[in-house]
Amino acid sequence: KAGVTQTPRYLIKTRGQQVTLSCSPISGHRSVSWYQQTPGQGLQFLFEYFSETQRNKGNFPGRFSGRQFSNSRSEMNVSTLELGDSALYLCASSQGQGPTYEQYFGPGTRLTVT
């Protein structure tokens, strides 16, 4: 069974640009969550999608948005990039919502904003 895949793995952008990151969950998984990982803040929850609907949202500005498609694939978008957005963005999928279902993480997308 293929794991969670994230594309691209590495990305370099300039301040003010926008970026779209992609996540393909494990086949059959309907929930996709996104996290931002930085050395200073650790892992912070961005949002969770389940059956194409955003079910939970973390404390991030509106520049961070996402969506989920009918095949459960998810994208997150960051507009008007700032230097502080440089981070590893992790996607995790699970069969359902809640701690009963194990989250499987992808390898992440390393975003560098210059």
| Binding residues vs another protein (CB under 8 A) | 4, 33, 35, 41-45, 48, 55-56, 58, 90, 92, 97-100, 102-108
**Minimum distance from CB of 33 to another protein (Å)?**
7
CA distance 66 to 47: 8
Q: What is the largest CA-CA distance in the chain?
A: 40
Spatial contact of 16 and 80, defined as CB atoms under 8 Å apart: yes
**Minimum distance from CB of 57 to another protein (Å)?**
8
Q: Which is nearer to another protein, 62 or 98 (CB)?
A: 98
CA atoms within 13 A on the CB side of 29: 29
Q: Which is nearer to another protein, 8 or 16 (CB)?
A: 8
* Tokens found for residue 32: 């996709």
**Minimum distance from CB of 16 to another protein (Å)?**
29
Q: Which is nearer to another protein, 18 or 54 (CB)?
A: 54
**Minimum distance from CB of 34 to another protein (Å)?**
11
Spatial contact of 63 and 80, defined as CB atoms under 8 Å apart: yes
CA distance 83 to 29: 33
Q: Which is nearer to another protein, 66 or 106 (CB)?
A: 106
